[in-house]
Amino acid sequence: MREDHDGTADLDEAFGPPGSRYAAVSRRAFLARSAQATGIGAAAVVLAACGHNDAEVFARGPAASAAPASSTPGTTSRATTAPPTSGATTSPQQPTTSQPTSTQPASTQPASTEPSTTAAPSTVSGDMGVRFTYKPAASGGRVNNPYVAVWVEDSSGALVDTLGIWYQQNSKGVRYLNELRRWASVDGSSETLDTVSSPTRAPGDYALVWKLTDAEGQRVAPGSYFICIEAAREHGPYSLIRQPFTLGSETFKTDLPAQGELSNASIAHPAG
C-alpha cells in the first residue's frame, strides 16, 4: 500500500476500485476504527461519507465531536442540584396566614380578701375550782391524817402551780413528804412549802381554787393542762388522780375518776 503526500494510505488498492459499494463500506469501517484509536469523535465517522477525501475527514478531528450527545433510550436525565452550604437550612416557604387577633376583656374578679380573725386572748380570765373527797378505807386500827397535794401541770408534765400541800409541819413530818411521789418529782421546793402549805386535815370534802396563774403569779395561756390530786398516809394506800383538761374561753365542769381513797373529784371553770 502506498502513501500519498498528505500521509494517508491509498485506500483504493485495499478496498477495491474507487466508486464501488464495497469500497465505500470498507472505507467507513476502517475510518471508524481509526477514529476510536486516535480519539476522533464518533460523528467524524458519519462525516466520512460526505467528505471529498480521507484527509479532510481526519483534519476535522475532535471539532466534529462537539455535537450534543443524544440521550440513551430508556434512561431519564435528571438535573443535579448542588447541596446547600453546610449550616444553611432550606425549607419550603409556607404561605403566611394572617390570624385574627382575639381581644378578650381583662378579668375583673375581685381580689381575694382574707377574712379578718380576732386574735385569741393570750390569757384566760376567771378562776377554776377543784373539789374532792378524802375517805380512808376501812381499817381496824388508828387512821392517821393523810398528806395531800393538789397542783397543775402543763401538757409536757412540768409544774405550773401548786394549789395546796397538806403535811405534818414539823421537822419529822417533812421527812415523809417524799411519799407524795408525783408532787415531789415535779416540785418539792421549800418555797412552795413556805407559801401554800398547811397542816394535815381529817377525812372529808374539800375545795380549792386555782387563780389561773403560774408559780410566778402570771396569768396562764389557753391550752392543755393536767389537774393532779395526790394522797398518801402512814399504813395506808397511795392515791393519785391525774386528769387532762383544756383551758380556753368556754366554761366547763368535768368529773374526775376516783382513785384509791380519793373520790367525788371534779374541776369547773369558772369556779362555782
Distance of alpha carbon 162 from alpha carbon 150, whole angstroms: 6
Question: Cis before residue 270, ω within 30 degrees of 0?
Answer: yes
Distance, CA of 199 to chain centre: 65
Average pLDDT score over residue span 78-105: 48
| 231 neighbors 147 (Cβ within 8 angstroms) | yes
CA distances from 137 to 89, 140, 142 (A): 104, 10, 12
Give the least confident one: 113-117, 135-139, 163-167, 173-177: 113-117
Strands (E), 92-199: 128-134, 147-154, 159-166, 197-198
Question: Predicted confidence band at 215 (pLDDT cuts at 50, 70, 90)?
Answer: very high
- Count other C-beta atoms under 10 Å from residue 92's C-beta: 4
pLDDT tens digits, 177-196: 999 999 999 997 888 888 89
Pick 12 or 240 by higher pLDDT. Answer: 240
Those residues with Cβ within 8 angstroms of residue 136's Cβ, 6 or more apart along the chain or in another chain: 143, 146, 203, 233, 236, 261
Question: Any idea which residue has 408532787 for its cell?
Answer: 183
| 10 neighbors 29 (Cβ within 8 angstroms) | no
pTM (predicted TM-score): 0.57
Q: How many CA atoms lie within 13 A of 147 on its CB side?
A: 22
pLDDT tens digits, 236-249: 899 999 999 999 98
Distance of alpha carbon 229 from alpha carbon 149, whole angstroms: 6
